[in-house]
């Protein structure tokens, strides 16, 4: 019995140590869980910038800091939130392949001569990264549209970009006739420039700030202007294009005929001058010679010329013909 008691006493400390180890691991795991529940870690992709806002139970939900693009495991407080926005080149495209709207979508405008035209538009830009500017954008626009999410970003473009594009194009189109915008490259270029200028004026007023820069902006250079391009405005009534093409064909045929008439007139004047100089018979002889109907040769003075006569098959009993001299 004494041996058994000693054995039990020897085993007991080992079990107690194991329990302590397991208990320590459990306590450590609980501590880690508590630690991670107290602290947050933020990450940003290389093409996105983060806005860090407080959100703990003992502090206000206010802006704290900018988290640069490409940050990893940035420690933030418990309950804090990071909103990220794109810093790379972005676009808003109306109509066509790769459009942010339906492929068949167009901006409808009315020309100076009251023809309705469809216009497809491409705008390229970047988000202004200045701390105060992007903070204002987030609090005025981003939170309302959830622009920090991809779907919300697209909704933001549709809500703020599209109306100003429509207004800019409509305001400028009334200065041009439809045919000028359709087939006059200089007029189309002037229309695009004027529309871009008007859109650049309207957009900041609509969103409340200079939140958008040109596609070449990188965060350290000048903001620059947005890139605004349009495709050829097209009449919504396709019959107008058919009528224009028919008119152009008729004008081309008329111009061709007028050119031919001018050529005939020049030739007639030339004939009249030659008749006046050579006389009617002289002109006819000259024309016949030039056309090859009359052949002649120049015979040297006191010279002998042999004129070959075509040979024919000699009939029996006939004398050969001598060449003429």
For 181, the enclosing helix (H) or strand (E) is: helix 178-183
- Same domain, yes or no, for 112 and 206? yes
Report yes or no on 17 lying in a domain.
no
The pTM of the full predicted model, rounded to 2 decimals, is 0.65
Among 206, 236, 266, identify where a domain stops.
236
Report yes or no on 174 lying in a domain.
yes
Report yes or no on 226 lying in a domain.
yes
- Same domain, yes or no, for 226 and 99? yes
H helices, E strands: number in the chain: 8, 12
Q: Which residues of 219-251 are buried (b: 16+ CB within 10 A; e: fewer)?
A: eeeebebbebebbebbbeeeebeeeeeeeeeee
Report yes or no on 202 lying in a domain.
yes
- Same domain, yes or no, for 171 and 195? yes
Angle at 88 between CA 87 and CA 89, to 5 degrees: 125
Report yes or no on 300 lying in a domain.
no
Q: Tell me, what CATH number does 127's domain have?
A: 3.30.479.30
Handedness of CA 158, 159, 160, 166 (dihedral sign): positive
Domain assignment of residue 160, given as a range = 89-236
- Same domain, yes or no, for 41 and 109? no
- Same domain, yes or no, for 231 and 100? yes
30 vs 24: CA distance, rounded Å: 10
Report yes or no on 296 lying in a domain.
no
| Residue-level pLDDT, tens digit, the chain, 325 residues | 445 445 444 445 556 676 666 766 776 666 555 555 556 788 999 999 999 998 766 677 899 999 999 999 888 878 889 999 999 999 999 998 888 888 889 999 999 999 999 999 999 999 999 999 999 999 999 999 999 999 999 999 999 999 999 999 999 999 999 999 998 999 999 999 999 999 999 999 999 999 999 999 999 999 999 999 999 999 998 888 776 666 666 777 777 777 777 788 787 788 888 787 778 777 777 777 777 666 665 666 666 656 666 665 655 665 655 555 4
- Same domain, yes or no, for 260 and 199? no
Report yes or no on 21 lying in a domain.
no
Among 217, 236, 255, identify where a domain stops.
236
């Amino acid at each position: 019995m004494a041996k058994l008691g000693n054995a039990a006493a020897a085993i007991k400390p080992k079990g107690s140590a194991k329990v302590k180890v397991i208990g320590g691991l459990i306590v450590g795991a609980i501590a880690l869980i508590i630690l991670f529940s107290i602290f947050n870690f933020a990450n940003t992709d290389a093409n996105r910038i983060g806005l860090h806002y407080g959100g703990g139970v003992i502090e206000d939900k206010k802006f704290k800091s900018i988290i640069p693009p490409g940050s990893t495991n940035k420690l933030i407080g418990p309950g804090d939130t990071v909103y990220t926005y794109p810093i790379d080149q972005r676009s808003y495209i109306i109509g066509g392949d790769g459009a942010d709207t339906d492929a068949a979508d167009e901006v409808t405008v009315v020309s100076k001569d009251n023809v309705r035209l469809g216009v497809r538009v491409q705008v390229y830009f970047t988000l202004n990264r200045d701390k105060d500017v992007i903070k204002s954008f987030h609090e005025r626009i981003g939170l309302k549209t959830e622009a920090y999410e991809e779907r919300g970003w697209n909704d933001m473009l549709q809500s703020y970009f599209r109306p100003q594009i429509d207004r800019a194009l409509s305001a400028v189109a009334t200065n041009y006739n439809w045919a000028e915008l359709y087939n006059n490259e200089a007029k189309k270029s002037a229309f695009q420039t004027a529309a871009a200028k008007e859109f650049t004026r309207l957009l900041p007023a609509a969103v409340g700030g200079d939140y958008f820069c040109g596609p070449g902006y990188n965060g350290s250079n000048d903001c620059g202007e947005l890139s605004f391009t349009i495709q050829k405005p097209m009449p919504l009534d396709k019959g107008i294009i058919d009528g224009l093409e028919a008119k152009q064909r008729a004008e081309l045929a008329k111009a061709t005929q007028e050119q031919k008439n001018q050529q005939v007139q020049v030739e007639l004047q030339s004939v009249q001058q030659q008749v006046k100089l050579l006389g009617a018979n002289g002109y006819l002889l000259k024309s016949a010679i030039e056309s090859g109907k009359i052949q002649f040769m120049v015979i040297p003075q006191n010279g002998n010329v042999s004129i070959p006569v075509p040979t024919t098959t000699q009939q029996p009993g006939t004398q050969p013909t001598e060449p003429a001299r």
